[in-house]
A = this chain, B = another copy of it.
């Protein structure tokens, strides 16, 4: 029997989706599962997008140009300009989601054995896309105690070697919710300039911030036109996760030309995604303000509930729609699985993403989980009731190894 590749067999499992089977089994038993494990918002898609899809009248659903429909690129450029980010349509390539944007970006700048550096915990699929490119992701640990602020740049600099090609950030961060400040980004900018590296920033959650100041885009860092590649997506922005619409933005022509070759190989980004996206970006309106308000309330509610549970540590995130919480358990992977296989409260249980999969360093994050506050408060309420009760029950079942963490 022929064997799969080493690349395939060592490809990491998705920490967000690896418990899916247990969730299905729980549902089959009649237990209702509160999904705080995945960033699928319950917010309605932008109405202009829904309308554009329903009204699309061409009788042939044809390939689009590989870099994207020109009107889509124009609408995206207009959006960036409204955000005071000066880019032109030719700086933008349309992708099948932020996922494809990340995948083609990494393929375009990384060879087998190359390295890129990112703070951990990080979006788990960064690891998957780096793996696909044959590259190694080198982590710099950020700490729950500081709310996952950017580690001092010296910690990045000491990891830079002959094979380092890029620094990778997610801002606002999935999974931590941290929003990098202008001064943190300027520190990284200096480092990137000094060592002539690429700076890849996933800015998918740009609209999701809960403070006074807007998120600073890497595209607005001075002197980095040849270094910065921003990966972006309409999934969260317009609640269009399923259509698969994302994009790359860079002012580096060589990067754009290279990514275009990968885009040509897959022929076309999805047409209906672009039909939806053109309409949503054009209409935009006050969609974000309403959403931001909704999420801020959910964040505050979830954070307040978590903070009341004995032994739980959860910094208040400033952006995105995730909270990382440290739980009073020894093995959050086991606890999250147990919630699905053995626990229910009034017919409900809770699904969370174990945070170990968001860390590269072995053993890190073993007590942590990621919760996505993408559901309405009544659902979060049920989920938190489950969590409170489950922690009490699980504590009695867990083999006692080391209780120091409980203090």
- Chain A residues in contact with chain B, CB under 8 A? 1-9, 11-14, 17, 20, 38, 40-45, 49-50, 53-56, 59-66, 96-97, 99-100, 103, 107-112, 114, 125, 128-129, 132-134, 165-166, 196-198, 226-227, 239-244, 252, 254-255, 258-259, 261-262, 264-273, 276
Contacts and interface: CB of A to CB of B under 8 A. Distances in A.
Contact of A7 (B8, B133, B254, B270): B133
Nearest to A227: B2
Contact of A111 (B6, B56, B242, B269): B6
A61 B108 contact: no
B12 A110 contact: no
B270 A5 contact: no
B4 A255 contact: yes
Given A3-B109, A112-B112, A244-B269, 15 more contacts: A2-B165, A8-B107, A8-B261, A11-B265, A14-B261, A50-B61, A53-B54, A53-B56, A61-B240, A61-B276, A97-B268, A112-B134, A125-B267, A132-B262, A243-B272
A1 B196 contact: yes
Given A244-B270, A272-B273, A11 B258 contact: yes
B128 A13 contact: no
Nearest to A63: B241
A44 B58 CA distance: 9
A133 B242 CA distance: 26
